[in-house]
Structure 1
């Protein structure tokens, strides 16, 4: 245990967050996301949802201020009658740290972007369309 490190962040996830450089992306994936087939760097966070993981990651992880949209969500497929109240939860958590514009990425474009991400964190999140991409920024001081 260490002081000031949220206990939800495993040693493996902390290592990955430290390894990432400016502009690298990490995906916090819901339980339905095909995480294992989209990455060679899969981290498991079973038993946890995306919001509590997002809050913990953002406490240590700077978002990219050089990007207009350092946060991306998987857009709802047209015609899919899904409510996405979890997006409001994400916006509140993100706004505590910075005020970026959020990008909404078409489902298959999101999958392609996921293949290029530095890592994917698979969670047990049950909400639909609860996947989020975070682009790492720099720590200036």
Structure 2
């Protein structure tokens, strides 16, 4: 155990966050996401939801301020009537930890999958919210 670091962040996830460089991307994937088949590096966090992992990760991980959209969400498939209230939770967490100037964008489902294949790592969570997936681009510490 380490002081000041959330117990939600496993040693493996801490290592991944530390290894990532400026511009590298990490996916926080919901429970329905094909994490194992898409990930170059897979981190299991099955018992946890994305909001609490996002909060813990953003205490350590700076977001990329050199891109327009350092946070990317998986767009709802047209015609799917699902609601995405978890997105507002993500926005609140990001804006509280990184500031109101951080912008989000939505990527079409298959574009999101392609981006996930290139990501530094995918964190497979137990998140139950549909379209709960997000990608973060790592920034720099000044």
Could you state the TM-score of these two structures normalised by the residue count of structure 2? 0.97
Summarize the alignment of residues 123-134 of structure 1 with structure 2, pairs less than 5 Å apart: 123-134=125-136
Could you state the TM-score of these two structures normalised by the residue count of structure 1? 0.98
Deviation at 1:15, TM superposition (A): 0.3
Summarize the alignment of residues 22-101 of structure 1 with structure 2, pairs less than 5 Å apart: 22-96=22-96, 97-99=98-100, 100-101=102-103
Q: Which whole-Å CA distance do the structure 1 matches of 2:40 and 2:114 have between them? A: 14
Q: Which whole-Å CA distance do the structure 1 matches of 2:141 and 2:129 have between them? A: 32
Q: Which runs of 5+ in 2 are unaligned?
A: none
2:111 is aligned to 109
The count of residues paired between Structure 1 and Structure 2 equals 140
Q: Which whole-Å CA distance do the structure 2 matches of 1:30 and 1:46 have between them? A: 9
Deviation at 1:98, TM superposition (A): 2.2
Where has structure 1 moved over 2 Å in runs of 4 or more? none
